[in-house]
């Protein structure tokens, strides 16, 4: 059987950088897919600062966004080239690259979503067909446009002998419910790392709390946690999705003020990690109560404090990571966009209406020839 080679590129809400993979969807191993090469490139501080600034309205933002999109495109193409080198694969052998872009606005309630990207530039630099703008068609069909990974999660991680929930913890956290009967569901549960990253940057001067070490020095503040949990997003039924448009530093500051708390910074950090664990746990209890195990991917899987809190939240269910299924936690989303590119080229739908709320199944993504 000939190989089905696709590239996938992802830069997520956490703004830590670009992940790229070269995947074979017809490997000799018989698995659904196999990673042949991978690469990670951290964001230069100038680009990261600009992407953070562009999350909010500002002066000359159209020109600034255009310049930032070009910088992103260069990084995306560089990451693809590095993944190709790691795989010892030539660009012409890869059928297409799925390049999600960097989400700046996500407002399905107003009928739009914006992923900063210049896919034509990526195609020019990489010498590949590029598939991009995956969310817009689902939003146009009345859906949330997110999460888009549940169909891929089902293809890769579903098991006929057990009820699993896949938990992706990036800047935002989402779950994919994979019961044994195959009825896939999923939705965003709320902030993943986004709030704890912002609080760490403000108080420690680092972009994230490595392994949750700082949070481990604090104690969750139960009163503050209840104030945070009172946000209507958490109790709203799915389908639902969210982004930095909602969960940002302003959102946190408003609730800190409302709580009238003067607590230590490390205790607030621990509370933000507890919020992520609690909202995931609440989602599982409400919508996947018979789940036997949770499988975690994304950067949050490397946060030992979050994993500790999450294990307590979902007990007696088993907690593991996708690495234990042979897929590194940082590669799952990039693999998902390689898979979505494959579906687009084949003319197959990539969304799940039962997840996003769209009117029906749709082929996702705009195609830019090599």
**Mean pLDDT, all residues of the chain:** 95
What are 210-259's pLDDT values in tens digits? 999 999 999 999 999 999 999 999 999 999 999 998 999 999 999 999 88
Q: Which of 98-102, 242-246, 357-361 is predicted with the least confidence, judged by mean pLDDT?
A: 242-246
What are 59-74's pLDDT values in tens digits? 999 999 999 999 999 9
188, 148 contact by CB (below 8 A): no
Count Cβ atoms below 10 Å from residue 92 Cβ, excluding itself.
Answer: 9
Per-residue model confidence (pLDDT) at position 2: 80
Residue 30 has pLDDT above 80, yes or no: no
Q: CA angle, 145 as apex, 243 and 101 as ends, to 5°? A: 65
Q: Which of 23-32, 121-130, 142-151, 281-290 is predicted with the least confidence, judged by mean pLDDT?
A: 23-32
| Domains with residue ranges and CATH for the chain | 5-146+331-368 (3.30.420.40), 150-325 (3.30.420.40)
Per-residue model confidence (pLDDT) at position 346: 97
Per-residue model confidence (pLDDT) at position 71: 97
d(C-alpha 68, C-alpha 98), whole Å: 19
Per-residue model confidence (pLDDT) at position 9: 98
Phi then psi dihedrals of residue 287, to 5 deg: -120, -10
pLDDT category at 1 given cuts 50, 70, 90 is low
Q: Exposed, middle or buried, 255 (CB in 10 Å: 0-12/13-18/19+)? A: middle
Per-residue model confidence (pLDDT) at position 31: 82
């Amino acid at each position: 059987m000939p190989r089905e080679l696709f590239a996938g590129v992802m830069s997520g809400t956490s703004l830590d950088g670009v992940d790229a993979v070269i995947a074979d969807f017809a490997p000799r191993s018989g698995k659904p897919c196999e990673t042949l090469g991978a690469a990670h490139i951290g964001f230069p501080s100038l680009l990261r600062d600009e992407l953070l600034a562009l999350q909010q309205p500002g002066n000359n933002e159209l020109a600034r966004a255009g310049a930032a999109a070009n910088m992103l495109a260069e990084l995306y193409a560089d990451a693809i080239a590095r993944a190709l080198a790691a795989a010892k694969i030539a660009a012409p052998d890869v059928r297409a690259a799925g390049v999600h872009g960097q989400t700046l606005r996500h407002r399905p309630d107003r009928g739009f979503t914006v992923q900063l990207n210049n896919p034509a530039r990526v195609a020019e630099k990489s010498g590949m067909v590029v598939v991009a703008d995956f969310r817009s068609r689902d939003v146009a069909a009345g859906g949330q446009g997110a999460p888009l990974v549940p169909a891929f999660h089902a293809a890769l991680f579903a098991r006929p002998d057990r009820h699993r929930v896949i938990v992706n913890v990036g800047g935002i956290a989402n779950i994919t419910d994979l019961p044994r009967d195959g009825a896939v569901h999923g939705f965003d549960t709320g902030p993943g790392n986004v709030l704890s990253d912002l609080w760490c940057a403000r108080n420690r001067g680092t972009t994230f709390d490595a392994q949750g070490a700082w949070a481990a020095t604090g104690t969750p503040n139960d009163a503050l946690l209840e104030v945070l949990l009172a946000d209507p997003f958490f109790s709203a039924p799915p389908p639902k999705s969210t982004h930095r448009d909602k969960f940002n530093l302003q959102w946190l500051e408003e609730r800190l003020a409302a709580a009238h708390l003067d607590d230590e910074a490390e205790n607030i950090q621990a509370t933000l990690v507890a919020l992520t664990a609690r909202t995931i746990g609440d989602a599982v209890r409400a919508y996947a109560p018979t789940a036997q195990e949770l499988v975690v991917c994304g950067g949050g899987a490397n946060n030992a404090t979050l994993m500790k809190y999450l294990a307590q939240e979902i007990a007696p269910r088993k907690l593991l990571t996708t690495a234990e299924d042979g897929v590194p936690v940082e590669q799952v989303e990039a693999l998902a966009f390689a898979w979505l590119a494959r579906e687009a080229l084949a003319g197959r739908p990539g969304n799940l209406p039962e997840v996003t709320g769209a009117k029906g199944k749709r082929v996702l993504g705009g195609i830019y020839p090599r």
